Structure 1
Amino acid sequence: MKASFDATGEVVVVTGGARGIGAALAAAVARLGGTAVVFDIVTPALTEGVEYVEVDVADRDAVAKAVAAVVERHGRIDGLVAGAAVQPRTPVLATDPEEWTGVLNVNLDGVVWVCQAVVPHMIERRSGSVVVFTSGLAHTGFPGAAAYAASKAALIAFAKTLAAEVAEHRVRVNVIAPGVIDTDQFRTANAGADLDRWRTTTGIGDPDDVVGPLLFLLSDAAGMTGSQLTRERAFGRLTHY
């Protein structure tokens, strides 16, 4: 069975969309006739249909202003994909308060702030889809990744709670765990032996492997809310729970 998507006239905000999965999604939205608005602190290689706004998602006021500008410019936001994250590798006992807070400010607070800015516009239109990223490390942990794993575990509870709060307004909020994907951030956090271990065990996927599931969650075809799609291994198979 073949799936196809049409984003004509739709506006999707992608945080952390300058590289990796976010960049692949933004390009796909543009190819499908929509407008992707990338929020990032890194300037992407832009393509037609992709806009870039330099904004640090940890800055609540900056996020609010950026979202207001998007709504003023386009009149709507149909989808939000909250993918901005940082992933340092530091053992728990060596993690200082600045690093711990910095990870949570981007990975967790940044999602809260952009949802607070975007979702009211979706509620007003009684339509919209939000996708939040988690990680398998939220369930298993990983040496040196306590802050990252903790932030991703918290996001599951946050997204499910938000989903319950806005369901009556026909706004959907779902979670995706994309699996092990070959991005610049992943390679930096998993250099040397870790990279080899991932390659020989779970396998390493490509950012484009995640685009289909993301488009599905953004689309009308995804009738669920408060759910999680989890990519198993490198073959792109998904579980839903």
Structure 2
Amino acid sequence: MKVRFDATGEVVVITGGAQGIGSALARAVNAVGGTAVVFDVVKPADPAVEYVETDVADRSSVEAAVGSVLRRFGRIDGLVAGAAVQPRSPVLEMDSADWTRALQVNLDGVVWLCQAVVPHMVSRRSGSVVVFTSGMATTGYPGASAYAASKAALVGFAKSLAAEVAEHRVRVNVIAPGVIDTEQFRGANAGADREHWQDTIGIGDPEDVVGPLLFLLSDAAAMTGSVLTRERAFAKLATLWSDE
């Protein structure tokens, strides 16, 4: 079965979209007729992608960025909150600044974004919000307590928001994309950690997550408060199937 998406006239804000999964999604949104607007502290390499310099940990920066999009385009149809940091440190050695920054970017940033964007969606009675969690939210991982804690908190936050705005036809869902080969992943998982993921669930590519994200943004995803999980990378499955 083949699926085709049409985002003609729609505007999708993607945080952390200068690289990795967000960058792949931005290209895909543009390719199906929509307008992707990247919020990031780094400018995207693709000049065709709209960009607003934004620090999601700074509430005033988020509010200014959202205001600029609404003034320019008059609408925001989708919000994909992908900005995150992954400090690595054992709990007993963790610097308080690393812990605070992880919560500010990964958790607070999503709250500020939703507070700025969702009222607009409520007034239009239409919109989709996608929040990123991680398998580490339920399993934990050595040295990744700040990241895991922030991603676990996001599930509870997103489910609560979904319940609050469902009557306004605004959907809020969560995606756990699995292990994806991005710049951030490589920085946090060098050496033995990378080998661990490669040998267990496999490492996917950013483009592998685009289809599920487009689905969650589309009106085909008649659900809210759900968690969509990719447990294994497609490349790993392909390897398993080839052995049969």
TM-score, normalised relative to structure 1: 0.96
Q: Which runs of 5+ in 2 are unaligned?
A: 238-244
Q: Please give the secondary structure, in 2, of the residue aligned with 1:63.
A: helix
CA deviation digits over 1:175-224, x for unaligned, max 9? 00000000010011000011111111110000000000000000000000
Q: Which runs of 5+ in 1 are unaligned?
A: none
Alignment of 1:97-136 (within 5 A): 97-136=96-135
* Cα RMSD (Å): 1.0
Correspondence 1:24 to 2:32: no
CA deviation digits over 1:215-234, x for unaligned, max 9? 00000000000001000211
- The one-letter amino acid of 1:209's match is D
Match of 2:67 in 1: 68
Deviation at residue 69 of structure 1 after TM alignment: 0.8
Alignment of 1:146-165 (within 5 A): 146-165=145-164
Correspondence 1:186 to 2:181: no
Match of 1:78 in 2: 77
- 2: CA distance, partners of 1:25 / 1:84: 13
- 2: CA distance, partners of 1:5 / 1:101: 39
CA deviation digits over 1:76-106, x for unaligned, max 9? 0000000000001100001121111110000
Q: Is the Cα–Cα contact under 8 Å of residues 133 and 175 in structure 1 kept in the other structure?
A: yes
Deviation at residue 45 of structure 1 after TM alignment: 1.0
Match of 1:215 in 2: 214
CA deviation digits over 1:114-171, x for unaligned, max 9? 0100001000100000000000000000000000000000000000000000001000
- 2: CA distance, partners of 1:129 / 1:141: 28
Deviation at residue 46 of structure 1 after TM alignment: 2.1
TM-score, normalised relative to structure 2: 0.95
- 2: CA distance, partners of 1:147 / 1:58: 15
Match of 2:34 in 1: 34
Q: Which moved more, 1:226-235 or 1:216-225?
A: 226-235
Correspondence 1:143 to 2:132: no
State the percentage of identical aligned residues.
76
Q: How many residues align?
A: 236
Match of 2:240 in 1: none
- The one-letter amino acid of 1:224's match is M
- 1: CA distance, partners of 2:137 / 2:38: 26
- 1: CA distance, partners of 2:83 / 2:75: 21
Q: Please give the secondary structure, in 2, of the residue aligned with 1:89.
A: coil
